[in-house]
Structure 1
Amino acid sequence: MARILITGSSGGLGLMAGQSLIETGHDVVLHARTTDRDPGIADVVVGDVGSMAGIASVAEQAARFGPFDAVVHNVALGYQERRRVVTVDGFAQVFAVNVLAPYLLTALMPRPERLVYLSSGMHLGVAPDLDDLNWERRRWNGSQAYAESKFWDVVLAFGLARRWPDVPVNAVDPGWVATRMGGRGAPDDLTQGHVTQVRLALGEIPGTGGYLYHEEPSRTNPAVHDTDLQDAFLARCAELTGREL
């Protein structure tokens, strides 16, 4: 039996992954932004990872249930944010939730046996810009901000896989599926959307530093393999959060 934490799992793919793992006898800890979003099917940690304090609270709560065999960093905001919302810490909300939350949770929590980071095929069209991670210079574009956040999630996964060779770290493209984030018209197979992260969390897919779609290696943006970019990005996250890995 594996013990697995899944962030952003009060609904959508995170909840589907949790339900699948629970049904096969595994010990799952879910994460909800607020208590009223608790699915009521497993232990849950509660906190808004849009703030640094909320992230620290989630990490502290999770530590009580650990150690974990795997952590699946599924939490994310979607691509339909029409304006740049700023968090209490001064970050663009999409960047805070989609990028800084998985980074800081990884930094604050004891290292699990396996790590999984959720990305998106939208990362393929990104030209990386470390100088404006927070969208302060550019005119806001919600779709582009989301795509960039998913690009940095792959960079985070690949940078960690290189730094922590004893921990399998992988990124996943679940596809464009009909969740609340993806919308009703999403064309990909919803039943396949969570399978890859479940299998990676259980160690059923070997290897590290991979990017997978429906259980198979998939094409990535070439820039995510740039080790100098990986190191610069991790250093920037450490600067922004005040916590090094």
Structure 2
Amino acid sequence: MPDRVTTPFTAASTAADVVDGVDLTGRRAIVTGGASGLGIETARALATAGAEVTLAVRDLVAGARVAEDLVAATGNKQVFVGHLELADPASVAAFVAEWDGPLHILVNNAGVMAAPLSRTPDGWESQFATNHLGHFALATGLHPALAAAQGARVVAVASSGHIFSGVVFDDINFERRAYEPWSAYGQSKSANVLFAVEAARRWADDGITANALHPGGIRTNLQRHVSEADLEAARKAANSTIAWRTPEQGAATSVLLAASPLVAGVTGRYFEDCNEAAPNVPGTFTGVAPHAIDPEAASRLWELSSR
């Protein structure tokens, strides 16, 4: 295993701290879920550094409002909005078809957490479909644009929730096992990390790096399906005593991987607190679980997702 990557930044650092002094002029970025929570702060930092930023959002009205606010706050007029419904393959395909020219930064940030059981028209469990399959289709569809950028970065916003479950290939859609919202969430977040592992391998010759991360515990719209009591119970079960972070702190690791020269060329890794994570110690809620970086599982998931 190569040496773990470390930076001067910590859990307390903000996205603004990470991007301070970084010049992204001429770079083009897409941030999914850019109209709320971490997506806004990720987009704000990239726009502040001079990047052209497209907010890929479900709600165009909310997206337009955020874009207007970001233009006013950063002085960067190159903040755009595009419609993207990750659970709808046709929507993803339409977004990809409309993209023109190179893409330097793709931040797969949008997600759903611990939602009640629902399935897409194609039969996929909704958290897996939204958090993984939609982002997989987006990234692979945009692969020519990423390759054209000569040095593109793909950032997969995963979660320490990946520790809850690996990808259960024999029953991804909970057709033969009882549905459990946190297991489904964990499976989808493990899939995010495995995607980065395999994309790093497959796309290395295209100059594309891909990394995954845990942003930390942040109160955002992501938890709309989860009560306060359920959140605290989950934290207790995971022995998590970590304090809630601000969205500005939560976006820091995403922005580090998207923009910082400190991680140029780093690929196929999992980060937390602005540094590469150590292996998870069973019974704890930090670090990366072996099932999420297993190369055989990563390859198997890629083939399944492609089909």
TM-score under structure 2 length normalisation: 0.72
Among candidates 190, 206, 212, match of residue 171 of structure 1: 212
Q: Is the Cα contact below 8 Å between 1:169 and 1:209 reproduced in 2? A: yes
Deviation at 1:88, TM superposition (A): 2.5
Q: Is the Cα contact below 8 Å between 2:96 and 2:141 reproduced in 1? A: yes
Q: Is the Cα contact below 8 Å between 1:125 and 1:221 reproduced in 2? A: no
How many angstroms apart in 2 are the aligned matches of 1:143 and 1:59? 30
2:124 partner SS: coil
Long gaps (5+) in structure 1: 240-245
How many angstroms apart in 2 are the aligned matches of 1:25 and 1:226? 36
Q: 2:199 is matched with which residue? A: 160
Q: 2:67 is matched with which residue? A: 40
2:221 partner SS: coil
How many angstroms apart in 2 are the aligned matches of 1:24 and 1:115? 18
1:128 partner SS: coil
Among candidates 200, 222, 233, match of residue 181 of structure 1: 222
Looking at CA atoms only, which structure, 1 or 2, has the larger radius of gyration?
2
Deviation at 1:199, TM superposition (A): 2.1
Using the TM superposition, name which of 145-154 and 41-50 deviates more.
41-50
> Could you list the runs of 4 or more consecutive aligned residues of structure 1 that deviate by over 6 angstroms after TM superposition?
183-186
Q: Please tell me the root mean square deviation across aligned C-alpha atoms, in Å.
A: 1.8
Using the TM superposition, name which of 44-53 and 148-157 deviates more.
44-53
Among candidates 220, 223, 242, match of residue 288 of structure 2: 220
How many angstroms apart in 1 are the aligned matches of 2:158 and 2:86? 17
Q: 2:298 is matched with which residue? A: 230
Q: Is the Cα contact below 8 Å between 1:7 and 1:73 reproduced in 2? A: yes
Q: 2:254 is matched with which residue? A: 197
TM-score under structure 1 length normalisation: 0.89
Q: 1:73 is matched with which residue? A: 108
- Equivalent residue pairs, number: 235
Q: Is the Cα contact below 8 Å between 1:52 and 1:89 reproduced in 2? A: no
Deviation at 1:75, TM superposition (A): 1.3
1:181 partner SS: helix
Q: 2:40 is matched with which residue? A: 15
Deviation at 1:182, TM superposition (A): 4.2
Q: Is the Cα contact below 8 Å between 1:7 and 1:75 reproduced in 2? A: yes
Q: Which has the higher contact order (CA 8 A, sep 6+)?
A: 2
Long gaps (5+) in structure 2: 1-24, 69-78, 147-151, 233-242, 278-286
How many angstroms apart in 1 are the aligned matches of 2:90 and 2:254? 27
1:17 partner SS: helix
- Show CA shifts across 1:133-168 (max 9, x none): 222222111111111100011001001112222321
